[in-house]
Amino acid sequence: MNDFEQAVRTVQFLSIDGVEKAKSGHPGTPMALAGITVDIFTRYLRYNPKDPAWPNRDRFVLSCGHASMLLYSVLHLAGYDLPLDQLKQFRQWGSKTPGHPEAGLTPGVETTTGPLGQGIGNAVGLALAGKMAAARVNTPDSEVIDYRVFALCSDGDVMEGVASEASSIAGHLGLDNLILIYDDNHITIDGKTEISFSEDVPKRYEAYGFFVQRVDGHDVEEVRKAIDAALAHKGQPCFIAARTTIGIGAPTKAGTSKAHGEALGPAEVEGTKKAAGWPLEPTFHVPEEARRFFAAREAENKKVYDGWHKQAEALPSERAEALRNLTTRPVPANLFEELVKVAAESKPLAPRETADIEHDEQRRRWRRVVRLIP
């Protein structure tokens, strides 16, 4: 077993052990998506766990937030301030590892997810924010802002209206810094998705204007080729439909709804570990090979991080100020006065025949205030 495979197994079994200890949670999706997620973090994602707010970090969004142990396990291995003891406190009061990821609570979590579809919407927003920031900061000779957004989503996510509307605008705007990976496992908490869902999701995303690919989610090389093609593709956001088996490796529950919304149970955990050649004890086992594999990526990213700071320091003063404003989000000292001024200039509602003209005038006044806020 090579270091990559050790890292994938580690994420799978940390997720299994976390859910098993909590006696609740979702083990099957982390088991299925561990390979894709480890590959994203160790091959593609640019990040610095010592500076989680680095402006040009790539964003990783777990829209299927119920699979949170997947994210916590990877963040722990990636070097974020999330000790193993926190993984052992999964879903416990006061821990940094709640049942669904929460931004501001857990280092490395970009956005709160759990309500289905919300992560897709937020991923689109992050990608759009990146394009807007690039327009304000970048110069013809220097791309200081060029981060990408990688998002994992589930059947439940793509069923939601919020995801559809956000995906539609992403395609319309051509957000080519967005890569959406769809966990197409054909399973819901109640059984097979065909009970209530039968549309061809990739075709829908083609209609939204996405560059669409279909892959075997457990074929490492196939997934890598798809991600490489997505990163090279310009002018469209990218959608990768990854066919997976939920709970892959579990002797009796793989591919069934029994691997979705409940702990596997002691006998199934034992059978899964034995089949994978994984030690039964201790639980939450992390081999050195897995840590070493992630540490190598952290070292590579540190060089990128240091180089970015030199690039940012060389920005022209106006662009440097724009970057500072985007990073620190200062509130203008005279904001109240400007708001009062706009309010004073506002007039009562105009008659219907002139309402459109009046509305345009009020919009122009408000834009003067909005421009004051970076």
72 and 124 assigned to the same domain = yes
For residue 320, tell me if it sits in a domain: no
Q: Is the dihedral of CA 126, 102, 15, 6 positive or negative?
A: positive
For residue 318, tell me if it sits in a domain: no
pLDDT tens digits, residue range 211-247?
Answer: 999 999 999 999 999 999 999 999 999 999 999 999 9
**3-22 vs 288-313: helix crossing angle, rounded to 10:** 100
Given 258, 274, 309, the domain boundary residue is 309
Query: Per-residue confidence of the chain (374 residues) as pLDDT tens digits?
Result: 899 999 999 999 999 999 999 999 999 999 999 999 999 999 999 999 999 999 999 999 999 999 999 999 999 999 999 999 999 999 999 999 999 999 999 999 999 999 999 999 999 999 999 999 999 999 999 999 999 999 999 999 999 999 999 999 999 999 999 999 999 999 988 899 999 999 999 999 999 999 999 999 999 999 999 999 999 999 999 999 999 999 999 999 999 999 999 999 999 999 999 999 999 999 999 999 999 999 999 999 999 999 999 999 999 999 999 999 999 989 888 989 988 888 888 766 555 555 555 566 666 665 655 555 55
- Measured between alpha carbons, how far is residue 109 from residues 1, 49, 75, 83, 304 in Å? 30, 11, 9, 15, 21
339 and 289 assigned to the same domain = no
For residue 223, tell me if it sits in a domain: yes
Residue range(s) defining the domain that contains residue 204: 3-309
364 and 217 assigned to the same domain = no
pLDDT computed for residue 354 by the predictor: 53
132 and 65 assigned to the same domain = yes
208 and 102 assigned to the same domain = yes
- Measured between alpha carbons, how far is residue 192 from residues 6, 182, 197 in Å? 31, 16, 9
CA gap 85, 357 in Å, rounded: 61
CA gap 285, 279 in Å, rounded: 8
pLDDT computed for residue 280 by the predictor: 97
198 and 340 assigned to the same domain = no
105 and 201 assigned to the same domain = yes
Contact 23/264 with Cβ under 8 angstroms?
no
299 and 345 assigned to the same domain = no
209 and 345 assigned to the same domain = no
Number of domains into which the chain is organized: 2
For residue 319, tell me if it sits in a domain: no
Contact 89/16 with Cβ under 8 angstroms?
no
Strands (E), 78-148: none
Q: Is the dihedral of CA 177, 182, 183, 188 positive or negative?
A: positive
233 and 294 assigned to the same domain = yes
65, with CB counted inside 10 A (0-12, 13-18, 19+), is buried
CA gap 14, 252 in Å, rounded: 20
Taking alpha carbons only, the member of 248, 59, 28 closest to residue 155 is 28
202 and 345 assigned to the same domain = no
- Both tokens of 296, joined, read 């190598």
Q: For 286-353, what is the HEC assignment?
A: CCHHHHHHHHHHHHHHHHHHHHHHHHHHCCCHHHHHHHHHHHHCCCCCCHHHHHHHHHHHCCCCCCHH
**Which run of H or of E encompasses 230?**
helix 220-232
190 and 158 assigned to the same domain = yes
329: left (phi over 0), alpha (psi -120 to 50) or beta: left
For residue 37, tell me if it sits in a domain: yes
pLDDT computed for residue 355 by the predictor: 55
Contact 187/216 with Cβ under 8 angstroms?
no
Instruction: Point out which residues pair with 42 in neighbouring strands.
Output: none
- Both tokens of 70, joined, read 């997947």
CA gap 148, 227 in Å, rounded: 12
User: In CATH, what number is assigned to the domain containing residue 239?
Assistant: 3.40.50.970
pLDDT computed for residue 333 by the predictor: 87
For residue 314, tell me if it sits in a domain: no
Taking alpha carbons only, the member of 197, 146, 100, 73 closest to residue 308 is 146
CA gap 122, 64 in Å, rounded: 12
pLDDT computed for residue 187 by the predictor: 93
Given 276, 309, 342, the domain boundary residue is 309
For residue 8, tell me if it sits in a domain: yes
